[in-house]
Structure 1
Amino acid sequence: MTVYLDIIWILNFLFDSLLLFLTGLILKRRTKKWRVFLGGFFGSLIIFAPFTPFAILTSSFFKIFISILMVIVAFGFKRMKYFFANLSIFYLVTFAMGGAMIGVHYLLNFDYDLANALFLTHIQGFGDPISWLFVILGFPVLWYFSKNTFDRFENHKIQSDQLIDLEVFIFDKSVRLRGLVDSGNQLYDPLTRRPVMIVSLKKMTNLLPKEIIPIFNNVNQLWNESNEVPNEWGNRLSVVPYRVVGKDHQLIVTFRPDKVMFMQNEEKFQTDKLLIGLVNQKLSSDDTFDSIIHPKILTSAKGQQVS
């Protein structure tokens, strides 16, 4: 059997470098590209181990040593916690990519006759042979999807840390919502200086009289004489100017609730020092949250903790 050692070495060098690069992306490590490639170079040298007379070079201990060396070369050593984070994510990425490659390989039942003609490597005693052509084509695709998956997971985790359950009370009704605490929301009523929480109109229709729902859909309906606002709502409604990207001088109709109760980490706190503005759109494409909370609202609410 002919072994194209130079081709196998180049592929291992590129794959090891890509694994280190993906590790750096996940952990947001700032490192120079030449260090990543140097780490990949050291990792690729292990393919020459079977051709040496030293048995220790093919041992599990030496493989672990090489992986540690790769991580230190690529990202440096600052402290133990930093090092173990790099090493653990590197192993996670390696196992995930390797497992995905093997899984896709068996799922698609790759054509071995075609593979025999194109860069076939026989893995004696470890299952079916796998074509380097399949690896060359499959690895970049899996690497791309793995990177995007990790990015989405990270964004979801960051967003989850900013989510909070809440309940809006008005008159004898209430509705439970999930809110996203957004420091970018700096919307205030210019007269009362009360912060404004944005809520999807669809989530609030059960709390609102049918007569005033058109007002939240179109602020101009507020001045339409044909729309009669119930007396108990007359002093609760107000109009607040706000800005959106690309548009100035927009108006949003808000109302003053009796109170809003927040639930976070088994603690409850409430406030009535806010306004709620309703928008006729989904605030989250996947329904993760249905309201956007002004951070000042939480500051005020935490001063009124509920036992």
Structure 2
Amino acid sequence: MYYEVYIDLLFLINFMMDYLLLLAVRKIAVFDSPRVRILPGALVGAFLTCLTVAVPLPAVVKMVCFHLLINSAMILTGLRIRSLRQFVRVYLMLYAGGFLLGGIFGFFRQYIRTGSLFFLFAVISYELLGIIWKLMRHMQRMGTYTCRIQLRIGDKMTEITGLFDTGNNLEDPQTGNPVCVVEKEAVKDLLTEKGERPVRYICCRSIGDENGLLPLVKFDSLHISGEEDRTIEDVWIGISDTKISANGIYKMILNPDILVGGVK
């Protein structure tokens, strides 16, 4: 059987799909890699795919290239990998994301009549994958997940225990960023650093107070310590005058959405 392959079209299709797939894995795995770094990763994946198709190789060698070498090169080039464990995790996520993305796109393929629609439905498939992941993440309860938090203002820093709370959907209406809340008593030493800090107020709802005002203070950085360390610079955090935890186990409530892309 004879097939005619247009190498330029093959490269373009693979480049776009690889880019969307790496972008999805970056979002799901919560990587701090800059988005522009994904571009060379997708280019490497598309180039190696075309090279493997064009060069006459035994079928078993092509299979190893497609399923091991090319994917590994994409991950190492497009994402900031720090350990073998992280690499294995991302490798599995790449296949899982590819499976979901391919399934969603496969559903739309029946409606594709022209080549230009391919790219439109590819982007739509990526957006749907993001929605599905967000729904799955919200379904997974994180109410008992605590972590160590480092807050910094100027030269001062304090370390406290924070709690991820799926019930915390508080957002800053000015920026659309998720808002975390910390006890005032836990950060009182930081708030005196370098004089008065910028303060804004947002509306919030709590038990016994349906129309409360929560002050937001700008911190220089918020660092979350866990399996994947994450640092967010110039973040606005709500300051609570009351205790967050009755038993004092944690001093801060984290909005889980802060891990999805950080803040704008």
Q: Normalised by the size of structure 2, how large is the TM-score? A: 0.52
> In 2, distance between residues paired with 1:198 and 1:81?
41
Q: Summarize deviations over 1:193-246 as a string: whole Å, max 9, x none.
A: xxxx966xxxxxxxxxxxxxxxxxxxxxxxxxxxxxxxxxxxxxxxx7786249
1:150 matched residue in structure 2: 133
1:244 is aligned to 2:223 = no
Equivalent residues of 2:31, 2:80 under 8 A apart: no
Displacement of 1:61 after TM fit? Answer: 0.9
Aligned counterpart in structure 1 of residue 124 of structure 2, from 133, 141, 159: 141
Equivalent residues of 2:15, 2:45 under 8 A apart: yes
2:143 matched residue in structure 1: 162
2:25 matched residue in structure 1: 23
Question: Which fold has the larger relative contact order, with Cα–Cα distance below 8 Å and residues 6 or more apart in sequence?
Answer: 2
Distance verdict in 2 for CA 1:180–1:29, change over 3 Å: closer
Equivalent residues of 1:101, 1:139 under 8 A apart: yes
> In 2, distance between residues paired with 1:12 and 1:38?
13
Equivalent residues of 1:49, 1:57 under 8 A apart: no
> In 1, distance between residues paired with 2:167 and 2:36?
40
> In 2, distance between residues paired with 1:94 and 1:137?
17
2:87 matched residue in structure 1: 83
1:53 is aligned to 2:34 = no
1:204 matched residue in structure 2: none
Distance verdict in 2 for CA 1:36–1:184, change over 3 Å: closer
**Equivalent position amino acid for 2:103 in 1:** G
**Equivalent position amino acid for 1:296 in 2:** S
Aligned residue-pair number: 168
1:100 matched residue in structure 2: 104
2:40 matched residue in structure 1: 38
User: Aligned with 1:39: secondary structure?
Assistant: helix
> In 2, distance between residues paired with 1:180 and 1:92?
24
Residues 60-79 of structure 1 aligned to structure 2 (within 5 Å): 60-63=63-66, 64-79=68-83
Q: CA RMSD in A?
A: 3.8
Residues 224-239 of structure 1 aligned to structure 2 (within 5 Å): none
**Equivalent position amino acid for 1:77 in 2:** I
Equivalent residues of 1:19, 1:94 under 8 A apart: yes
Unaligned 5+ residue runs, structure 2?
A: 145-164, 169-179, 184-204, 215-242, 250-264
| Identity in percent | 13
Distance verdict in 2 for CA 1:137–1:296, change over 3 Å: closer
User: Aligned with 2:246: secondary structure?
Assistant: helix
Rg (Cα) greater in structure: 1
> In 1, distance between residues paired with 2:87 and 2:18?
18
Equivalent residues of 1:101, 1:138 under 8 A apart: yes
> In 2, distance between residues paired with 1:69 and 1:80?
14
Displacement of 1:297 after TM fit? Answer: 3.2
Displacement of 1:29 after TM fit? Answer: 0.4
Equivalent residues of 2:206, 2:212 under 8 A apart: no
2:245 matched residue in structure 1: 296
1:13 matched residue in structure 2: 15
Displacement of 1:12 after TM fit? Answer: 1.2
User: Aligned with 1:59: secondary structure?
Assistant: helix
Displacement of 1:67 after TM fit? Answer: 0.3
Q: Summarize deviations over 1:1-27 as a string: whole Å, max 9, x none.
A: 764321221221122112111111111
Equivalent residues of 2:21, 2:97 under 8 A apart: yes
Residues 97-246 of structure 1 aligned to structure 2 (within 5 Å): 97-105=101-109, 109-110=110-111, 115=113, 118=114, 132-157=115-140, 160-162=141-143, 184=181, 244-245=212-213
> In 2, distance between residues paired with 1:142 and 1:42?
22
Equivalent residues of 2:15, 2:46 under 8 A apart: yes
**Equivalent position amino acid for 1:153 in 2:** M
Q: Normalised by the size of structure 1, how large is the TM-score? A: 0.45
**Equivalent position amino acid for 1:50 in 2:** V
Q: Summarize deviations over 1:122-168 as a string: whole Å, max 9, x none.
A: xxxxxxxxxx44432211011011112212332443xx2228xxxxx
